[in-house]
Structure 1
């Protein structure tokens, strides 16, 4: 359809950032920089441990490494730009730079749904079919599940982005956000977005609720199997093998429900800007904490590295 005669296609997107909090920008910058450093450090440590420690070369930790990789990429696609927005009170991105950020954020965020679902399948096999676990969850299947998760999300997110870039964006070029999120960008479009919203609804059902339903089904089977174990020690041991993953599921989907399922009103877009910090900052920070505190193998690997480092120094 194109822009009207007195309008032009916007070339830049202005990010208004944290309006009203300018006097706290130094504190915000320090807090988010420290949090980003902890996210990078915690997740990179997990990636390094899983890649180098022989006793961590198992399917569960193979999937955990990819979950940590997605966390690092997700925060890196947003937080550095957010820190710049905080410092200068406003950010400016080219239109195509904004689209690239939107694309990357969608991929790295939603691939976690499938990786977490794959991890629940791994726990299901380990607890419900322990004798056949090694033969069922082999290296080839692990690799296929991870590649399939990344490929599927890339295709689905790309299909939405392809539709978005065909819209006309005329007139207003600013969004009340600190990064190029899907909702605020689509609101700038001057074209009919009804088809995109239907597409987004269908894809969201597939990428969010289908994995969640699968996770619930696998944990129903897991808990049913655990309850059939006669000894208390056996029940505790079986539950401990999935407790870290179950905590991750609660944190991840609890965050999604808070952001996307909360009641909306006129100020919902403004509120969602702050809610989005939950899955950009809080969830990627929680995952390494969960696995370092609740998983005995990760703690053993960390103690081993620290003891080796201590011996090398002396």
Structure 2
């Protein structure tokens, strides 16, 4: 696919320049955060699957968000960690395009899912009596599938345009993964049209889904303020706090990177903002939802108790059997 359009067969990712000691510290920090991210988000998915109390639309959305966070960070982090211990940080043309595509596919899907989750909170708080009939398990699964579908459709045209570009050299990408902005800078043709399409699609996707989220929370706040009991208002707001934090982190960094004119882009600032999307937000997601959520903590505690009991039970049976043999 790439050989027909370019003489470049591989790219060099600059990553994070610095001394050897600095690289070692970065490697340890990123590896630790990646492992914690995997364990935390996989734990949330396992809890939602294992505990019947969490098999509700809200927690099904949270489990799917955790899946997206695992996929997002896994698209970038393994290759970045390998490059940090190699002397030559290369990635093939095909692998670069595939990495860029899946990064934006998962990211776009996450924007749609966050908008869906805000709509879920809107229905739960503004129409609590009708919530069970509106947000059924089937409706939840359809909304998740729609998020993936729209994420896929949003990337078809930009991906085709980027793949068809000729790359004649140089082949050095000033980033730690194959992002669109530094990739377009390496093309030996006019990329103005693609930049306009990419900017328009990013703006429509990010700002459109953000608009749904903002409108949903505007109605939520209006409804909550009408609740006469302070305790009731606090309880209603507490169900939205975790989602608001994730929205602010993910949207803030993404809008900074992709919804700006190209001339104002600083690749160094883009790297810092990209770390928020690929490292910080996936790392914080399980802690935001688990440590602040009473049901998740209860499910985790009960699951650990069951596992501990099932582990001790064979030992107790074995000890009793030995006692019977000794008595005989």
TM-score, normalization by structure 2: 0.89
1:26, distance to aligned residue in structure 2 (A): 1.6
Task: State the alpha-carbon separation in 2 of the partners of residues 40 and 118 from structure 1.
Answer: 24
* 103 and 254 in structure 1: CA distance in 2 versus 1, 3 angstrom threshold: same
Match 2:238 to one of 237, 240, 250: 240
Task: Report if aligned partners of 1:13, 1:92 keep a CA contact under 8 Å in 2.
Answer: yes
Task: State the alpha-carbon separation in 2 of the partners of residues 280 and 230 from structure 1.
Answer: 41
Task: State the alpha-carbon separation in 2 of the partners of residues 21 and 59 from structure 1.
Answer: 48
1:216, distance to aligned residue in structure 2 (A): 0.6
Task: Report if aligned partners of 2:8, 2:169 keep a CA contact under 8 Å in 1.
Answer: yes
Task: Report if aligned partners of 2:206, 2:255 keep a CA contact under 8 Å in 1.
Answer: no
Unaligned runs of 5+ in 1: none
1:45, distance to aligned residue in structure 2 (A): 0.3
Alignment of 1:2-13 (within 5 A): 9-13=7-11
Match 2:168 to one of 167, 170, 180: 170
1:190 matched residue in structure 2:
188
Task: Report if aligned partners of 2:158, 2:197 keep a CA contact under 8 Å in 1.
Answer: yes
Match 1:148 to one of 146, 149, 164: 146
2:72 matched residue in structure 1:
74
SS in 2 for 1:275: helix
Unaligned runs of 5+ in 2: 313-328
1:258-307 Cα distance to aligned partner (Å, 9 max, x none): 44468987881133123211110000011101001111111111111121
Task: Report if aligned partners of 2:113, 2:147 keep a CA contact under 8 Å in 1.
Answer: yes
Q: Are 2:310 and 1:273 aligned?
A: no
Task: State the alpha-carbon separation in 2 of the partners of residues 273 and 102 from structure 1.
Answer: 15
Task: State the alpha-carbon separation in 2 of the partners of residues 182 and 196 from structure 1.
Answer: 10
TM-score, normalization by structure 1: 0.93
Count, aligned residues: 309
Task: State the alpha-carbon separation in 2 of the partners of residues 145 and 94 from structure 1.
Answer: 35
Match 2:133 to one of 132, 135, 151: 135
SS in 1 for 2:130: helix
Q: Are 2:34 and 1:36 aligned?
A: yes
1:114 matched residue in structure 2:
112
Task: Report if aligned partners of 1:13, 1:94 keep a CA contact under 8 Å in 2.
Answer: yes
2:317 matched residue in structure 1:
none
TM-align CA RMSD: 2.0
Task: State the alpha-carbon separation in 2 of the partners of residues 258 and 181 from structure 1.
Answer: 14
Task: State the alpha-carbon separation in 1 of the partners of residues 263 and 159 from structure 2.
Answer: 26
Task: Report if aligned partners of 2:169, 2:187 keep a CA contact under 8 Å in 1.
Answer: no
1:60 matched residue in structure 2:
58
Match 1:126 to one of 111, 124, 127: 124
Task: State the alpha-carbon separation in 2 of the partners of residues 20 and 266 from structure 1.
Answer: 25
Task: Report if aligned partners of 2:254, 2:273 keep a CA contact under 8 Å in 1.
Answer: no
Task: State the alpha-carbon separation in 2 of the partners of residues 274 and 243 from structure 1.
Answer: 25
2:316 matched residue in structure 1:
none
Task: State the alpha-carbon separation in 2 of the partners of residues 210 and 170 from structure 1.
Answer: 36
Task: State the alpha-carbon separation in 2 of the partners of residues 285 and 60 from structure 1.
Answer: 20
